[in-house]
Chain A
Amino acid sequence: EVQMLESGGGLVQPGGSLRLSCVASGFNFNSYAMNWVRQAPGKGLEWVSTIRGTGDGAGDRIYYADSVRGRFTISRDDSKNTLYLQMSSLRAEDTAIYYCAKRGPAFYFDYWGQGTLVTVSS
């Protein structure tokens, strides 16, 4: 059974930093691109970032939404089946539930974690 469990969310002041983690199980983690998708309170879904897996096709390895590029860094540790999102220079508009999502055979999201809430507020 595919499972993903996010952690690391919490309350942080504007300008602060936070690192999210997502531990995955039930599939060959290093073969798949992994993603972060967020959802602001009461709002829709917003793709944040993608990191390809080893052997996960041609093209760039990492992608970011314009809204987070230069402030967020996605990474992965395949030995630990873990995806990360390092967030810095946080803003109020980054307040959201952050979901970890596995890529399917194409860049849609076939499995999702339950999310971790990040609140940016003074």
Chain B
Amino acid sequence: EIVLTQSPATLSVSPGERATLSCRASQSVGSNFGWYQQKPGQAPRLLIYGASTRATGIPARFSGSGSGTEFTLTISSVQSEDFAVYYCQQYNKWPLTFGGGTKVEIK
């Protein structure tokens, strides 16, 4: 099983600041990698797939990068609606796995 390790567990940022979230895979997943956002009481929402492609309707302030085992989600200027938990996911091998999440909170 491919283990995904997200860091940090919690990221405190002020609105307008840049946020950088990381996810490391225990073995290479190529670019078969995605990011999701989840707000309290809501279902997850797909942000990024293919490591760097924004999903439909996702604002340009969200960007994904990386390949192999190291991946990054960047929010260029955090807005109030971006405070949430973010999960990474690999779909290169079965079983499909998620990271443990990074909570982005208001500083």
- Taking a contact as CB atoms under 8 Å apart, the answer to whether A44 and B96 are in contact is no
- Name the segment of A10-18, A22-30, A84-92, A108-116 touching the other chain: A108-116
Q: Interface size bucket, A side?
A: 20 to 34
- CB contacts under 8 Å to A, within B46-70, are 46, 49-50, 55
Residues of B within 8 A of A (CB): 32, 34, 36, 38, 42-46, 49-50, 55, 87, 89, 91, 94-101
Residues of A within 8 A of B (CB): 37, 44-47, 50, 63, 65-66, 99, 104, 106-115
Cβ of B50: which chain A residues have Cβ within 8 Å of it? 106
Known: A44-B87, A44-B98. 6 other contacts (CB 8 A): A45-B87, A65-B95, A99-B44, A106-B49, A112-B44, A114-B42
Q: A63-B94, A106-B50 are in contact. Are A44 and B99 (CB under 8 A)?
A: yes
Cβ of B87: which chain A residues have Cβ within 8 Å of it? 44-45
Contact count A vs B, C-beta below 8 Å: 55
**A109–B46 alpha-carbon span in the complex (Å):** 7
- Taking a contact as CB atoms under 8 Å apart, the answer to whether A112 and B45 are in contact is yes
CB distance from A45 to the nearest CB of B (A): 4
Cβ of B89: which chain A residues have Cβ within 8 Å of it? 45, 108-109
Cβ of A50: which chain B residues have Cβ within 8 Å of it? 96
**A115–B49 alpha-carbon span in the complex (Å):** 22
**A65–B1 alpha-carbon span in the complex (Å):** 10
Cβ of A115: which chain B residues have Cβ within 8 Å of it? 43
- Give 16 A-B contacts (CB < 8 Å), ordered by A residue: A44-B99, A45-B44, A47-B98, A63-B94, A99-B43, A106-B49, A106-B50, A107-B91, A108-B49, A109-B34, A109-B46, A110-B49, A110-B55, A112-B44, A114-B42, A115-B43
CB distance from B48 to the nearest CB of A (A): 9
Most buried by B among A65, A108, A114: A108
**A102–B75 alpha-carbon span in the complex (Å):** 26
